[in-house]
Amino acid sequence: MEQKQTILAELLELNSSLRPGISPAWQVPAGYFDNLAEELLLRVKLLDTSSVEEELSQLSPLLAQLDRRSPYLVPAGYFEELDPSFVWMDDELTARDEIGQLSPLLAGLQKKNPLSAPADYFNTLEQKEPVKETPVKSISLLRQSWFRYAAAAVIIGLIATSALLFSGGRTSIDPNEKSYAWVEKNMKKVGTETINEFVELTSSSQTVAQAEPSAEIKKLMQDISEKDIEKFLDDTTGEELDSDDDLFLN
């Protein structure tokens, strides 16, 4: 007993789901053992009974009082009014005769298809030739991609060619080789008002000095050849052109 109490105390400390005082799963009804001896003696006495009614009256008085009749009843003379041919059929009776007895309406119906076609209906039908189906041309995805790449390459080539032609038309002009064309090209960029202002500025600011050549200059010029003079003029002309180009560009 002390061990049981110790186990219960430990379960309470551990907060176990097992609780004391749980009733057993199997139990007998209340007062079962009170009348057990009398019921056993009654069963022993029933072994000596001579009829079923007496045994049933001792085991269950309620069942012994019930009337032994069927709960289902038929009206009086029900089977006398039945057709004997319905119950006892002749073996030689055919199916048509049987249907005639059961339902004269069904027996009068003819076994024919309610849907029918006119005579020679299928012979007069026009014979149509089967329609030939045109085969569908299958185009592979690889072929489509090849066409796309080819079209892209052609477009890129056209763009590159047009760019080269466009850039080649704008080649720069060398002023040393084509000085007149270079001046003509750059003069198109200069406005008329700018040229007029430049002319007025140079005419007003610069003075032209005219003096007779002295005897010393004449003497010095005698020792210089014509080739040197032409070379000097060419050099001075090139320097003037360069200065004019810088002026136009500014």
Domain total of the chain: 2
pLDDT exceeds cutoff 60 at 248: no
Tell me, yes or no, whether 109 lies in a domain.
Answer: no
pLDDT exceeds cutoff 60 at 213: no
User: Which pLDDT belongs to residue 215?
Assistant: 62
Find the domain containing 179 and state its range.
Answer: 174-202+223-250
Please state, as a whole number, how many other Cβ atoms lie within 10 Å of the Cβ of residue 42: 12
Task: Clarify whether residues 197 and 228 are in a common domain.
Answer: yes
Which residues, at least 6 apart from 248, have a Cβ–Cβ distance to it below 8 Å? 183, 186, 187, 189, 190
Task: Clarify whether residues 247 and 195 are in a common domain.
Answer: yes
User: Which pLDDT belongs to residue 90?
Assistant: 58
Among 41-50, 94-103, 133-142, whose mean pLDDT is lowest?
Answer: 133-142
pTM: 0.19
pLDDT exceeds cutoff 50 at 216: yes
**Helices (H) then strands (E): counts for the chain:** 12, 0
Residue 141's pLDDT band (boundaries 50, 70, 90)? low
Average pLDDT over residues 234-249: 54
Q: What does each C-alpha distance from 179 to 115, 168, 241, 242 come to in angstroms?
A: 109, 20, 8, 10
pLDDT exceeds cutoff 50 at 208: no
Task: Clarify whether residues 147 and 198 are in a common domain.
Answer: no
Task: Clarify whether residues 188 and 231 are in a common domain.
Answer: yes
Residue 42's pLDDT band (boundaries 50, 70, 90)? confident
Tell me, yes or no, whether 83 lies in a domain.
Answer: no
User: Which pLDDT belongs to residue 247?
Assistant: 44
Which residues, at least 6 apart from 42, have a Cβ–Cβ distance to it below 8 Å? 58
Tell me, yes or no, whether 247 lies in a domain.
Answer: yes
Task: Clarify whether residues 189 and 227 are in a common domain.
Answer: yes
Tell me, yes or no, whether 243 lies in a domain.
Answer: yes
pLDDT exceeds cutoff 50 at 175: yes
> What percent of the chain clears pLDDT 90, i.e. is strictly above it?
0
Tell me, yes or no, whether 35 lies in a domain.
Answer: no
pLDDT exceeds cutoff 50 at 184: yes
Task: Clarify whether residues 232 and 187 are in a common domain.
Answer: yes
- The dihedral through the CA atoms of 219, 223, 226, 231 has a sign that is negative
Output 52 or 17, whichever has higher pLDDT.
Answer: 52
Task: Clarify whether residues 248 and 227 are in a common domain.
Answer: yes
pLDDT exceeds cutoff 50 at 209: no
Task: Clarify whether residues 194 and 236 are in a common domain.
Answer: yes
Task: Clarify whether residues 247 and 197 are in a common domain.
Answer: yes
CA–CA gap between residue 182 and residue 242 (Å, rounded)? 11
pLDDT exceeds cutoff 50 at 57: yes
CA–CA gap between residue 150 and residue 164 (Å, rounded)? 21
Tell me, yes or no, whether 151 lies in a domain.
Answer: yes
User: Which pLDDT belongs to residue 126?
Assistant: 79
Task: Clarify whether residues 165 and 233 are in a common domain.
Answer: no
